[in-house]
Chain A
Amino acid sequence: SAVISQKPSRDICQRGTSLTIQCQVDSQVTMMFWYRQQPGQSLTLIATANQGSEATYESGFVIDKFPISRPNLTFSTLTVSNMSPEDSSIYLCSVAARTGGDEKLFFGSGTQLSVL
């Protein structure tokens, strides 16, 4: 499995501001993934971050709201822009790693975001 570090672990932000979440992996990976978990809900894939190209966003998520950077094979950032209380969620970085012959998805510790 991969060791995935995220920061900040939590933050409380004001409406209209932006927050950038950082994700660092201990090994080089082609793709990194960003998920959101709204309060009491399950996980939803926001986008896939590819090194050297633009991120691929899932339906309902747009680059202007969630810009993503992927400067190298071990690091990515997700920015939550122009925040509103509806953006209050846990944001999770994840990577796929091959274990036991199969590829599996592993998660970082998450960023708990509260927007006032």
Chain B
Amino acid sequence: QKEVEQNSGPLSVPEGAIASLNCTYSDRGSQSFFWYRQYSGKSPELIMSIYSNGDKEDGRFTAQLNKASQYVSLLIRDSQPSDSATYLCAVPLSGSARQLTFGSGTQLTVLP
């Protein structure tokens, strides 16, 4: 059974700071990694995907992947109160990105 571990938090950062969210995974063969954002009472929304070692940037979001350490992180620069949500890390159950196993999520609060 593939496992995905996240710091459960909650994590609080002041507005404008960098929020760092971490995730480790058990299956060394995992090739793709996803970060979802879930606002309270809403469904998960895909915000980042990463497939190669290194960094991938999209606006204020940066995903970092280290396959040797089986570690993936999400950095949110210039955090805004609207970033307050639960962030879920996910990896495919099998080789396809169609079926995912999710971490328990990290609840982030950005304080104005």
Contact = CB atoms under 8 A, between A and B. Distances in A.
A19 interface: no
Main secondary structure of the interface of B (DSSP, over half): loop
B22 to A, nearest CB: 15
11 contacts: A33-B98, A33-B99, A42-B102, A43-B88, A48-B99, A103-B97, A103-B98, A107-B45, A109-B42, A109-B43, A112-B41
Interface string A30-60: 0101000000011111001000000000010
Contacts of A105: 34, 46, 90, 97-100
Contacts, number: 56
A96 B95 CA distance: 13
Contacts of A107: 43-45
B58 to A, nearest CB: 10
Contact of B43 (A45, A92, A103): A92
Given A41-B104, A42-B88, A42-B103, A102 B43 contact: no
Nearest to B89: A42
Given A96-B97, A103-B97, A103-B98, A42 B46 contact: no
Interface of A: 31, 33, 41-45, 48, 59, 90, 92, 96, 102-110, 112
A105 B88 CA distance: 13
Interface residues of B, number: 24
Nearest to A99: B46
Nearest to B51: A102
B93 interface: yes
A107 B36 CA distance: 10
A67 B103 CA distance: 26
B49 interface: yes
Contact of B102 (A43, A59, A90, A106): A43
Given A42-B102, A43-B88, A102-B49, A110 B97 contact: no
